Structure 1
């Protein structure tokens, strides 16, 4: 299970660096040093090196600024590798140097270092990497691209009237339709995309009216990871009624917007695809930790 822990930790940490680090090379170097230390003290240099290689390949084939060229298939391959490492390799009998000083207890018993690293890796992966997986799955379901829509739009159409047929689902918060699927800078609120409004009686000065502070709020980037972590925790705790109630509440909250779908059903499908992919990721993380704990 130490292999799966390093794989998920390296991938998740690389995506967090891409999203939040002001200087990526500094973040990547920091992640490499941390993984090197963990691999050294746990006598797992080979799994650590494998994690670094897989993390570099993940950054290359799952870009955060554009559509993934390989879709979500790299995530499928990563899932197969992680599950295979947990199911077939199992736990180690010796955790290296840290095994002599490691002592972590829980209400369910002692937690070995390998299990703690796997749990940390799955948790880090659920934060930002899972967002990219959900977004890649949604991008794979699009039958058009923004450039095609721009050329296909009739020139005589009034810009003040929105046509449901050409509505761009990516412009909505994918984290609301499907948790955590939105890309950095992809969401554009109605206030930000509309021309600058001038105050009445001040048309010559061009002074812009104050914007709503809630405009451009990207809640999906936070809702998605929280939802997946809750799915993993509630599944491990066998709190299935609470889990079912939480998932049902999400559908109820989103029902007013989905009900305005019209005849196409695009909103409902967008919501279902993103939500199901996100839930599968959370349940898969719970399965990895559960299997490792009982192996």
Structure 2
């Protein structure tokens, strides 16, 4: 179980560094040091080293600025590794130095350190790493994408006769004529919430699944389809927009439900 938690935590951490750290090498170094310290105090240094190796392979196989060289397969292998580690390995009896002071209770009973690391790793993975998995799935399906903008044709302005300046009345004869006030740009005009909606949706799906709130979960998924219906309805006869929406949504939901399954299995094993 601890291997799955550390692997998901390492992969999710390096993807957060790639997305938000201004200098990636400093972020990678910081993450590696912190995770190695965590592995040392929890008597799981070798699993943490293996998790860092998996994180390095993930960065190479799932780039964030170009198409993934191996497509969707790294995500499949990561899922098989995580499920195999959770199913075959349970919680450890001794968690090292941190196990001596670890104490966490929940409405469902005591939460071991290994289970807490699995929940933390799954939650971190759902943030940015899952966006890369969804993108790789969409790239592999060749579904609809927004068309590239056509190159702009330079327009030569026609010569115009400047309008005569009207001198202001009063003592400010030498003052320049004020230009017409311009309306400030709306800061929300370029807002793109795709990177935020996906992680929030997957986190909510995972929480609602673990809480067995299936009616609320079904209502939320149906609401998403209703909100996106006007955009899909403009698809025409190709159906590409609908396929793009369905592939992305289904992959995202499968990731969230798989994370919930891992936590549920680990908690009941």
| 2:64 corresponding residue in structure 1 | 64
Q: Which segments of 5 or more consecutive residues in structure 2 lack a partner in the other structure?
A: 154-159, 163-178
In 2, distance between residues paired with 1:216 and 1:208? 19
Describe the SS at the equivalent of 2:126.
helix
Report if aligned partners of 1:128, 1:225 keep a CA contact under 8 Å in 2: yes
Q: Note closer, same or farther for the CA distance 1:38–1:209 as it changes in structure 2 (3 Å cut).
A: same
Q: Residues 145-294 of structure 1: matches in 2 within 5 Å?
A: 168-169=145-146, 211-294=185-268
Shift in Å, 1:83: 0.3
Query: 1:155 is matched with which residue?
Result: none
Q: Distance in 1 between matches of 2:145 and 2:72?
A: 21
State the match for 2:107 in structure 1. 107
Alignment partners' CA distance in 1, 2:147 and 2:202: 21
Asked if the contact 2:91–2:112 (Cα under 8 Å) also holds between the matched residues in 1, the reply is no
**Equivalent-residue separation in structure 2 for 1:262 and 1:210 (angstroms):** 36
Deviations 1:39-93 (A, max 9, x none): 0111001110110000000000100001111111100000000000000112211
Given that 1:169 and 1:267 are in contact with CA atoms closer than 8 Å, whether structure 2 keeps it comes out as no
Q: Looking at CA atoms only, which structure, 1 or 2, has the larger radius of gyration?
A: 2
Q: Does 1:50 align with 2:27?
A: no
What stretches of structure 1 move > 2 A for 4+ residues in a row?
Answer: 167-171, 202-205, 207-216
Greater Cα offset, 211-220 or 56-65: 211-220
- Mapped partners of 2:120, 2:237: distance in 1: 44
Q: Distance in 1 between matches of 2:147 and 2:200?
A: 21
In the alignment of these two chains, the number of paired residues is: 245
TM-score normalised to the size of structure 1?
0.78
- The structural deviation recorded for 1:211 is 4.0
Compute the RMSD of aligned alpha carbons. 2.4
Tell me the secondary structure at the aligned position of residue 94 of structure 2.
coil
SS in 1 for 2:137: helix
* 2:27 equivalent to 1:27: yes
Q: Tell me the alpha carbon deviations over residues 219-268 of structure 1, each in whole angstroms, 9 at most, x when there is no partner.
A: 01000000000000000000000000000000000001101110000000
| Residue of structure 1 in register with 2:83 after alignment | 83
Distance in 1 between residues matched to 2:139 and 2:70, nearest whole Å:
11
* Structure 1 gaps, min length 5: 144-166, 172-187, 196-201
Q: Tell me the SS of whatever aligns to 2:202.
A: helix
Distance apart, 1:210 and its partner CA: 5.1
SS at match of 1:169: coil
Q: In structure 2, how many angstroms separate the alpha carbons of the residues matched to 1:276 and 1:136?
A: 13
CA contact (8 A) 1:13 1:31 kept: yes
Matched, 1:9 2:9: yes
Q: What's the TM-score once normalised by structure 2's chain length?
A: 0.86
Q: Partners of 2:267 and 2:135 in 1: how far apart?
A: 31
